[in-house]
Amino acid sequence: MLEAQSMTMISRRDLLIGAGAGLIGAPAILRAQQLFTAFPFRLGIASGDPSHDGFVIWTRLCPDPFDEHGGMPTAPVDVDWVVYEDEAMRRVAQKGVERAWPELGHSIHVEISGLQPDRPYWYRFMVGREKTVLGRTRTMPLPGKPLAHIRFGVAGCQHYEDGYFTAFDHLSREDVAFVWHYGDYIYEDRARQVNYGRDGSPRVHVRDHVGTDCYTIGDYRRRYAQYKMDPDLQSAHLAAPWFTTFDDHEVVDNWTATTSPYQSRPELAAIRRAAAMQAYYEHMPLRRSSMPTGGSMQLYRRAQFGDLLKAHFLDTRQYRSAQPCTGSFEPICAGVADPRPTVLGDAQEAWLREGLSAKDSHWNLIAQQVMMMPLDRRTGAGPAELRNMDSWGGYDAARERLLGSLDGLGNIVVMTGDEHQNFAGELRRDAGRGKAVAVELVTTSISSGGNQWIKPEAARYIKAANPFLRYSSDRRGYVLCDVTPTRWQASFRGVDQITARGGAISTLATATIEHGRPALRIS
């Protein structure tokens, strides 16, 4: 636990005797309330990074969500936490006190260990008489233990202004061991106020961001607070532990390593990135090993679920070379074939190869952010192939290196986000024309893109132009994966609309992968 003897400390005892001389003599229950101007747990609670014997539980004291400091005093505050073995809260598994520091926006990351494997737990936080709702989480199966089945959810890309987070409400009702959030938890731009499509056509305007473009720690804190107060997002966090990684909008659109499309001076881009990473850590249920230092943070990591599944959570932003061409949807330029650029960086590439070579699991999940298939993005007849240069489609050599390390394994499923659509296809060598070595499943957005769907004729053209692509659809939602030793089944779940509350969920399609065969069957 961090210590700072020179700082003024507000302990649980201080809360009970008053947070100032003017409160001395007031009833104890009143004195315990005077620290906060409003309910301090307005951003909800969450759990994450589960292991076989524990997990992280998170909250942030924030009675005034749109204040830079959350309406909190500039002093540490002690917070009680309890983990229960039962939903009725009769059997305490562990309890303790964690200090909420102003340097971290009064956020709390409690790393629990020593629990029983593969079972649910419940948890909550308290300050004085202020208490959170009860959250549900769980531990994972012991590494190496025979496991017949695991179910998990995949979600991301939740633009607050594009629509309601209805899909999160539905996801909260699914029985999953964990959720992997692939990124774009927030969007960093100012309030839109008027909504329209790329062609200038009007769109339904649902709700606005508070504040301007995010640059400072206060800007990012305010944006996370607004998203965190969404009831559907809170429900999804309450239901299961999450593994989280960021993509680009947690910092700025299309950033890579030290570069930003909107700032030509790397030293200034680094200032914005450092603020964004601190705010990301403050609002995610991450372990202390991921705490930012020097404007960077350790996010690629690995988790093992029995003998059934090994998950490799990648970071495709911090170590990536700048995008080739102009970094947008455009024809292939010479930079795409350059052998020097990287998506993962040398250290992460070597770490992934080592993890895949262990061969101690029936399946390997490569959980990452941007599409690996080199998709031709033309939606009609055109003179040249178009690619998204902010995906692996802009890095041919890096993709070929990775696919070469997957060749012959027969148990790789790559899961991706970013595209705001569902895609399922085979990962083939030689720019999509060669041998299939793995399968890629791309999960649509929670809300980004709104209710505007891709025209059917455009979807048909994309599928015809990309023979490795087996399925695509354009609805907001998430993916559920049911994994057994012999089969991986992914259900693409979509809502019918998100610009009004109450959208209905349905299964749009199901992709099935048989163990040992890098091929898809769609039903």
For 183-200, how does the pLDDT look when each residue is reduced to its tens digit (9 = 90+)?
A: 999 999 999 988 887 788
Over residues 250-273, the mean pLDDT reads 95
Structure tokens at 220: 């990012």
What is the β-pairing status of strands 178-181 and 242-244? parallel
Residues 11 and 78: beta-carbon distance below 8 Å = yes
Question: Considering only CA atoms, which of 490, 471, 497 is closest in space to residue 150?
Answer: 490
Map tokens 């909008």 to a residue. 249
Structure tokens at 171: 């996801």
Question: Considering only CA atoms, which of 106, 158, 112 is closest in space to residue 135?
Answer: 112
- Given a cut of 90, whether residue 511 has pLDDT beyond it is yes
Question: Considering only CA atoms, which of 240, 208, 267 is closest in space to residue 135?
Answer: 240
3-class SS string, 296-351: ECCCCEEEEECCCEEEEECCCCCCCCCCCCCCCEEECCHHHHCCCCCCCCHHHHHH
Q: Provide the pLDDT for residue 359.
A: 87
**HSE, side-chain direction, 13 A CA sphere, residue 307:** 8
More confident residue, 337 or 25: 337
Directed axis angle between helix 396-406 and helix 346-357, to 10°? Answer: 20
- Given a cut of 50, whether residue 1 has pLDDT beyond it is no
Angle at 505 between CA 441 and CA 426, to 5 degrees: 10
pLDDT above 90 coverage of the chain, percent? 85
Q: Provide the pLDDT for residue 341.
A: 97
Alpha-carbon gap, residue 228 to 470, rounded angstroms: 36
Contacts of 54 (CB under 8 A, 6+ apart): 111, 112, 113, 114, 115, 139
**In the structure, what pLDDT confidence band is assigned to residue 380 with cuts at 50, 70 and 90?**
confident
pLDDT tens across 67-92, in order?
989 999 999 999 999 999 999 999 99
DSSP string, 201-265: -B-------SSSS--SHHHHHHHHHHHHT-HHHHHHHHHS-EEE---STTTSTT-BTTBBTTBS-
- Given a cut of 70, whether residue 7 has pLDDT beyond it is no
- Given a cut of 90, whether residue 453 has pLDDT beyond it is no
For domain 12-20+35-138, give its CATH number from 2.60.40.380, 3.40.190.290, 3.40.50.300, 2.40.128.20. Answer: 2.60.40.380
Map tokens 């490795």 to a residue. 468
Beta pairing partners, 131:
126
CATH superfamily, domain at 152-294+314-332+365-393+413-522 = Alkaline phosphatase D (PhoD) (3.60.21.70)
- Given a cut of 50, whether residue 273 has pLDDT beyond it is yes
Structure tokens at 392: 């692996």
**Torsions phi, psi of 74, nearest 5?**
-85, 65
- Given a cut of 70, whether residue 31 has pLDDT beyond it is no
Beta pairing partners, 138:
120
**In the structure, what pLDDT confidence band is assigned to residue 34 with cuts at 50, 70 and 90?**
low
Residues 199 and 263: beta-carbon distance below 8 Å = no
Residues 243 and 311: beta-carbon distance below 8 Å = yes
- Given a cut of 60, whether residue 507 has pLDDT beyond it is yes
**Torsions phi, psi of 267, nearest 5?**
-70, -30
Q: In this predicted structure, which of 2-6, 40-44, 53-57 has the lowest mean pLDDT?
A: 2-6
3-class SS string, 100-162: ECHHHCCEEEEEECCCCCCCEEEEEEEECCEECCCEEEECCCCCCCCCCCEEEEEECCCCHHH
- Given a cut of 70, whether residue 32 has pLDDT beyond it is no
- Given a cut of 60, whether residue 216 has pLDDT beyond it is yes
Over residues 410-427, the mean pLDDT reads 97
Domain boundaries defined on the chain:
12-20+35-138, 152-294+314-332+365-393+413-522
Alpha-carbon gap, residue 403 to 401, rounded angstroms: 6
Q: Provide the pLDDT for residue 2.
A: 37
- How far does Cα 9 stand from its chain's mean position? 33
Q: Provide the pLDDT for residue 117.
A: 98
Alpha-carbon gap, residue 1 to 390, rounded angstroms: 40
Over residues 303-324, the mean pLDDT reads 98
- Given a cut of 70, whether residue 10 has pLDDT beyond it is no
Alpha-carbon gap, residue 479 to 494, rounded angstroms: 9
396: helix, strand or coil: helix
Residues 241 and 54: beta-carbon distance below 8 Å = no
Task: Using only the alpha carbons of the chain, give its radius of gyration.
Answer: 23
- Given a cut of 80, whether residue 33 has pLDDT beyond it is no
Global pTM reads 0.93
**In the structure, what pLDDT confidence band is assigned to residue 226 with cuts at 50, 70 and 90?**
very high
Rounded alpha-carbon distances, angstroms, from residue 310 to 52, 147, 395: 13, 12, 26
Over residues 155-176, the mean pLDDT reads 98
pLDDT above 70 coverage of the chain, percent? 93
